[in-house]
């Protein structure tokens, strides 16, 4: 009996084990099935709490859209609401491309994101000017470097080729490659080549390049300075304004990022707006090249100062920088030649009225000094994010394409030739006498690897490793994502608007695109010289500013919304047309009530219009498509009169946590005066 009971127990155990195995296999199958079908759902999932490192924290309520405080912080700039984009050809400009061209223009472009974008627009205009067929430009940063995915070649690594060709079909004839015979001649270096200097005159192309183009049917242009044509074309040049509008059509319509980059940028933008709040985009503009060129080394400390000075010395030897190596950075900062530090930008925004829980998106492919320089900004604003906190690593890897593993393929420190010869001799030697293997390397008494090695021992910058070259190519994609987000942000503020050659940088392109696409959006253009003076007044009590100082900051920020824009027409536009595409690419539009006001008496809006030089009226088809904003305009002044929170203190006194940046003020009359000042011309 005991034996039978034992057998029954064993059989039951077997059945239980079998059922357990079946259930385990079934659960494993369900797991893989769910993982497969939920992959796409995860991509589209917009919550920033479970997937991403950004966990938004909001305590202060969002102001109603109709409130004066909301309009001050996020509302459109009223004096620019009449400005709308219009880059279509006008007058007798021949839109059809001639079937017979003078030959092919092949272009190689070198540089960063903003230099590539400027150069592409210029070469399209040059092709139109010379009546030439443009071969899709080659972006050297992606084709001539190793480690880049072979899925995307040159231009297609960043931009959509098909969109580029289709958008310019009526302006310039564009082809993907040279004909076979010319391609073979280029490989043999038998075609004429021009290394075009920065901001070349259109007559240089008409008098020198065109002659060679007609003779050889092809020319090669090498562009490395970020722009190969004058930003402001000579007025005596035929169709000069139409050529400027062609630049706008290229930059703002033809140059679309490739699908993978555009999709990821859209997803990040949706995740930013998922909490239902507007956000500020901030571009620090603090690259090592820019800091070295403008002599701003002493804004940093220790190793960063040394690295900047080493780069400045390298620039001086190549004639990029003229002057002395030691520069008084404090003087440069007071002159407005240095970027605003993240801490200063944070103080400006808090002083203007943005609360501690405002969403701030930090853009830029490189912030010199790393996250350490952004710590003060994080301490003032809880929700400071960037592309890495709003996307997953595999989403970024997806836009890079399939790239080889550089760790196994490319050793970081290749062995010396002498060491290789010793190893080879040891392997091929006979049985006896057999040489001993080379001894292991002696430990170094001092470390010469890393930046401290080449800063101390060499006057030249080290050669870039394969991984660094790959990272430089990735920066193009990072800045493309940031570009899309900065364009769509409710507010944008730059830390700096110059690059490492003194030309307009990424932030300048963003401000120009925002001016073209939606001029009324808040785009702050603080005067760095005036801001430096403001900070000098409170340098001993930086975080405990008095009410008079806060009022000065708010007045400056409001004023620069218009004054900074007008100033850009004389400072930025002569170096980069895309940084200020007005008035050539804009038109005027008023509603009926506003037209009567303008006819009866001049207004500040008319003064802004005259200062920007805009006289072209928008076509009738645009007036029927645009939604006019005059419905609630009659009640705006009454709403502003009731605001009591607009002139809030910078930080609350008493050591409270998460102080409200807009904080309520006891001085209601002064708040009303600030609002009325904004209505009656505080932005002038």
Average pLDDT, stretch 572-584? 94
Q: CA-to-CA distance for 501 and 114, rounded, in angstroms?
A: 12
Is a pLDDT exceeding 70 seen at residue 678?
Answer: no
Is a pLDDT exceeding 60 seen at residue 649?
Answer: no
The CATH number assigned to the domain holding 167 equals 3.40.50
Same domain, 186 and 81: no
Instruction: Band the pLDDT of 103: cuts 50, 70, 90.
Output: very high
**Structure confidence at residue 416 (pLDDT):** 59
Q: Is residue 361 part of a domain?
A: yes
Same domain, 351 and 313: no
Q: CA-to-CA distance for 662 and 660, rounded, in angstroms?
A: 5
Q: Is residue 571 part of a domain?
A: yes
Inter-residue contact 182 to 218 (CB < 8 Å): yes
- Give pLDDT tens digits for 241-285: 999 999 999 999 999 999 999 999 999 999 999 999 999 999 999
Q: CA-to-CA distance for 71 and 65, rounded, in angstroms?
A: 7
Is a pLDDT exceeding 90 seen at residue 92?
Answer: no
Is a pLDDT exceeding 90 seen at residue 493?
Answer: yes
Q: Which residues pair with 218 in a beta bridge?
A: 104
| Structural domain span for residue 224 | 99-256
Same domain, 211 and 312: no
Same domain, 135 and 158: yes
Q: For the chain, how many structural domains are there in total?
A: 3
Same domain, 205 and 294: no
573 vs 147, which has greater pLDDT? 573
Instruction: Band the pLDDT of 418: cuts 50, 70, 90.
Output: low
Same domain, 183 and 311: no
Sequence-distant (≥ 6) Cβ neighbours of residue 540 within 8 angstroms: none
Lowest mean pLDDT among 92-96, 101-105, 320-324, 352-356: 92-96
Lowest mean pLDDT among 184-198, 283-297, 574-588, 594-608: 594-608
For 105, 127, 215, 560, 656, the CA distances from 135, given in Å and listed in that order, are: 6, 10, 18, 42, 62
Average pLDDT, stretch 236-245? 91
Angle between helices 528-537 and 547-571 (to 10 degrees): 160
**Structure confidence at residue 454 (pLDDT):** 58
Q: Is residue 122 part of a domain?
A: yes
Same domain, 490 and 500: yes
For residue 519, give the H/E element and its range: none
Average pLDDT, stretch 639-668? 40
Same domain, 299 and 200: no
Alpha-carbon Rg for the chain in angstroms = 30
Lowest mean pLDDT among 157-161, 208-212, 537-541, 632-636: 632-636
356 vs 16, which has greater pLDDT? 356
Inter-residue contact 532 to 520 (CB < 8 Å): no
The reply to whether the predicted model has a pTM over 0.85 is no
Residues above pLDDT 70, as percent of the chain: 75
Same domain, 493 and 523: yes
Q: Is residue 40 part of a domain?
A: no
| β pairing state of 359-362 and 522-523 | unpaired
Is a pLDDT exceeding 60 seen at residue 2?
Answer: no
**Structure confidence at residue 608 (pLDDT):** 84
Q: Is residue 510 part of a domain?
A: yes
Average pLDDT, stretch 165-170? 93
Q: Is residue 41 part of a domain?
A: no
Average pLDDT, stretch 428-456? 59
Same domain, 187 and 148: yes
Final residue in a domain of this structure, among 239, 256, 273: 256
Same domain, 311 and 246: no
Count of CB atoms situated within 10 Å of the CB of 465: 14
Q: CA-to-CA distance for 657 and 315, rounded, in angstroms?
A: 46
Lowest mean pLDDT among 90-99, 205-214, 360-369, 593-602: 593-602
Q: In the predicted model, what is the mean pLDDT of the chain?
A: 80
Average pLDDT, stretch 476-482? 95
Structure tokens at 148: 């880049």
**Structure confidence at residue 101 (pLDDT):** 87
Q: Is residue 683 part of a domain?
A: no
- Comparing CA positions, the residue from 639, 587, 577 lying closest to residue 120 is 577
Sequence-distant (≥ 6) Cβ neighbours of residue 72 within 8 angstroms: 353, 646, 675, 678
- Give pLDDT tens digits for 660-674: 444 444 344 444 445
Average pLDDT, stretch 18-29? 78
Lowest mean pLDDT among 14-18, 385-389, 670-674: 670-674
Average pLDDT, stretch 224-242? 90
Sequence-distant (≥ 6) Cβ neighbours of residue 401 within 8 angstroms: 149, 150, 151, 152
Lowest mean pLDDT among 45-59, 62-76, 264-278, 505-519: 45-59
Out of 209-213, 470-474, 543-547, the most confident range is: 209-213
Same domain, 273 and 164: no
Is a pLDDT exceeding 50 seen at residue 536?
Answer: yes
30 vs 430, which has greater pLDDT? 30
Q: Is residue 172 part of a domain?
A: yes
């Amino acid at each position: 009996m005991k034996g039978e009971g034992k057998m029954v127990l064993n059989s039951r155990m077997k059945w239980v084990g079998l059922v357990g195995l079946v259930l385990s296999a079934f659960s494993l199958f369900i797991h893989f099935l769910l993982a497969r079908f939920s992959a796409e759902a995860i991509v589209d999932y917009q919550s920033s709490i479970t997937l991403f490192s950004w966990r938004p924290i909001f305590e202060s309520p969002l102001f109603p859209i109709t409130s004066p405080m909301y309009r001050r912080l996020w509302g459109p700039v009223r004096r620019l609401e009449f400005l709308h984009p219009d880059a279509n050809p006008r007058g007798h400009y021949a839109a059809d491309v001639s079937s017979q061209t003078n030959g092919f223009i092949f272009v190689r472009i070198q540089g960063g994101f903003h230099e590539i974008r400027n150069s592409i627009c210029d070469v399209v205009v040059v092709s139109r000017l010379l009546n030439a067929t443009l071969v899709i430009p080659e972006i050297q940063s992606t084709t001539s470097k190793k480690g880049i995915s072979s899925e995307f070649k040159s231009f297609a690594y960043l931009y959509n080729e098909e969109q580029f060709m289709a958008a310019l079909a009526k302006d310039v004839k564009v082809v993907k490659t040279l004909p076979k015979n010319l391609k073979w001649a280029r490989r043999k270096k038998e075609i004429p080549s021009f290394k075009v200097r920065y901001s070349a005159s259109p007559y240089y192309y008409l008098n020198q390049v065109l002659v060679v183009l007609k003779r050889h049917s092809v020319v090669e242009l090498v562009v490395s300075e970020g722009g190969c044509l004058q930003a402001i074309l000579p007025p005596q040049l035929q169709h000069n304004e139409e050529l400027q509008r062609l630049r706008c059509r290229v930059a703002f319509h033809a140059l679309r990022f490739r699908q993978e980059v555009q999709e990821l940028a859209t997803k990040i933008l949706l995740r930013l707006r998922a909490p239902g709040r507007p956000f500020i985009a901030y571009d620090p503009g603090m690259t090592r090249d820019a800091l070295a060129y403008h002599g701003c080394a002493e804004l940093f400390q220790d190793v960063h100062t040394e690295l900047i000075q080493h780069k400045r010395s390298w620039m001086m030897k190549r004639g990029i920088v003229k002057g002395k190596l030691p520069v008084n950075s404090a003087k440069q900062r007071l002159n407005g030649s240095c970027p605003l530090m993240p801490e200063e930008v944070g103080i400006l925004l808090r002083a203007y009225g943005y609360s501690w829980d405002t969403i701030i998106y930090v853009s830029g492919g490189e912030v010199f000094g790393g996250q350490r320089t952004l710590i003060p900004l994080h301490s003032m604003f809880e929700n400071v994010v960037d592309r890495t906190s709003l996307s997953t690593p595999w989403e970024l890897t997806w836009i890079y394409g399939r790239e080889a593993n550089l760790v196994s393929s490319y050793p970081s420190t290749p062995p010396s030739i002498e060491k290789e010869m010793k190893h080879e001799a040891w392997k091929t030697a006979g049985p006896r006498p057999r040489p001993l293997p080379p001894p292991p390397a002696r430990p170094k008494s001092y470390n010469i690897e890393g930046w401290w090695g080449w800063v101390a021992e060499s006057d030249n910058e080290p050669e870039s490793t394969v991984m660094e070259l790959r990272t430089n190519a990735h920066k193009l994609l990072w800045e493309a994502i940031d570009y899309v987000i900065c364009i769509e942000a409710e507010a944008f503020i730059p830390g700096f608007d110059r690059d490492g050659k003194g030309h307009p940088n990424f932030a300048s392109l963003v401000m120009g695109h925002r001016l073209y696409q939606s001029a009324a959006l808040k785009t702050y253009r603080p005067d760095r010289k005036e801001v430096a003076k403001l900070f000098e007044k409170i340098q001993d009590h930086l975080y405990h500013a008095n009410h008079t100082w806060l009022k000065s900051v708010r007045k400056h920020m409001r004023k620069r919304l218009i004054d900074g824009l007008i100033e850009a027409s004389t400072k930025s536009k002569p170096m980069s047309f895309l940084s200020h595409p007005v008035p050539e690419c804009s038109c005027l539009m008023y509603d009926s009530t506003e037209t009567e006001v303008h006819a009866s008496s001049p207004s500040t809006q008319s003064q802004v219009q005259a200062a920007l030089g805009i006289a072209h009226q928008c076509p009738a088809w645009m007036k029927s498509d645009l939604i006019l904003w005059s419905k609630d305009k009659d009640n705006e002044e009454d709403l502003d009169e009731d605001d009591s929170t607009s002139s809030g203190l910078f930080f609350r006194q008493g050591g409270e946590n998460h102080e409200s940046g807009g904080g309520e003020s006891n001085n209601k009359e002064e708040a009303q005066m600030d609002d009325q000042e904004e209505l009656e011309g505080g932005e002038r």
